[in-house]
A = this chain, B = another copy of it.
């Protein structure tokens, strides 16, 4: 392959990868992961201060290497409907590559430190562990 052709090939491949990343809406283009979605209810229901403290606490978890992606959330201002549970205050959604990574996360020192420092803020936790299909 001539140098210029090789450059062109690499360029085309790189551009292809960008397109893949940007258009990765399809269900089957990503490998299947474990999603771990946790909802927290505050002891001080409705306290914005405690909610924001907990949001900051959850964000410290992003340093744990097993967590491939972390999303932190609060209740969205969508239509009130019977099926919508809007009684919680903070959510953490994290993605793991394997069940073993999820188990290791549970005992990771940063996670343990988070529980020690922030569990005083919440009254209830509900966890959903999801295998993507």
Task: Give the B-binding residues of A (Cβ under 8 A).
Answer: 4, 7-8, 10-11, 14-15, 17-18, 21-22, 24-27, 34-37, 39, 55, 59, 62, 67-79, 81, 83-86, 88, 91, 93, 99, 102-103, 106, 125-133
- Contact residues in B for A22 (Cβ distance below 8 Å): 21
A7 CB to closest chain B CB (Å) equals 6
Task: Given A7-B11, A27-B71, A78-B103, output 10 extra A-B contacts at Cβ < 8 Å.
Answer: A4-B4, A25-B67, A35-B73, A71-B132, A76-B102, A76-B129, A77-B131, A83-B125, A83-B126, A86-B129
The one of B11, B26, B35, B83 that contacts A93, using a Cβ cutoff of 8 Å: B35
- Contact residues in B for A35 (Cβ distance below 8 Å): 71, 73, 76, 93
Q: How far is the CA of A22 from the CA of B27 in the complex (A)?
A: 18
